[in-house]
């Protein structure tokens, strides 16, 4: 990524990465997206950021897919629909982005952008948890603890929470402690 400097330097950098992006350099599209998002060459422009992330994603750059999806999902949900986020998460999950599998699981769990599908959400969380995604472990643990779309299994839930905690997902630590107290 580009460092701190004068706005003229950022404008030159933006011009360079935009040209490279137009020539099909997907990594340059991601760089342009972040320049627009962070406002390093003027005011922040999330709309242009999304367009550049999308172009990067279409060019096969997984970070472009992740960035577009996360921008829509977390930071600026008004820039894309939930349906568009689901499509992005689905695509990048299929291409191996465990983080986006977890995001897709959340969308399916709550029914945002796609019909609610608790068994599939649990499957996606399990995939993420098995790959070391602490957030996915926390979500799967909650589904197992309370029986959301899966059979209640508090021992497995506790294991998921502990794995989340080991993966530095703080909420998993809190839930592991709470479930551990209940089990005593």
Domain assignment present for 184: no
Task: Name the DSSP class of 81.
Answer: -
Domain assignment present for 7: yes
The answer to whether residues 159 and 147 touch, using CB atoms and an 8 Å cutoff, is no
Give the Cα separation of 162 and 95 in Å (integer).
28
Which residues in the chain belong to E strands, given as ranges? none
Domain assignment present for 83: no
Name the domain count of the chain: 1
What's the pLDDT at 3?
40
Q: Give the CA angle between residues 75, 78, 83 to the nearest 5°.
A: 100
What's the pLDDT at 1?
38
What's the pLDDT at 175?
84
Which residues in the chain land under pLDDT 70?
1-7, 10, 62-63, 66, 69-80, 182-184
Domain assignment present for 16: yes
The boundaries of the domain holding residue 63 are 1-69
Domain assignment present for 78: no
Domain assignment present for 25: yes
What's the pLDDT at 111?
77
Model pTM above 0.85: no
Domain assignment present for 165: no
Select from 179, 176, 174 the least CA-distant residue to 162: 176
Domain assignment present for 37: yes
Select from 7, 36, 5 the least CA-distant residue to 21: 36
């Amino acid at each position: 990524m580009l460092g701190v400097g004068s706005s003229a330097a950022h404008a030159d950098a933006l011009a360079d990465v935009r040209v490279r992006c137009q020539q099909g350099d997907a990594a340059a599209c991601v760089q342009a997206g972040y320049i627009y998002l962070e406002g390093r060459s003027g005011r922040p422009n999330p709309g242009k950021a999304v367009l550049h992330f999308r172009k990067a994603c279409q060019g096969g750059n997984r970070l472009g897919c992740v960035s577009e999806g996360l921008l829509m999902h977390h930071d600026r949900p008004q820039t894309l629909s939930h349906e568009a986020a689901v499509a992005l998460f689905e695509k990048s999950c299929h291409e191996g982005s465990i983080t986006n599998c977890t995001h897709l699981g959340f969308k399916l769990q709550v029914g945002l952008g796609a019909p609610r599908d608790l068994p599939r959400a649990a499957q996606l969380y399990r995939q993420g948890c098995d790959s070391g995604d602490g957030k996915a472990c926390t979500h799967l643990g909650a589904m197992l603890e309370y029986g959301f779309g899966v059979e209640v299994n508090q021992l497995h839930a506790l294991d998921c929470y502990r794995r989340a905690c080991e993966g530095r997902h703080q909420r998993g630590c809190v839930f592991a402690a709470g479930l551990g107290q209940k089990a005593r």
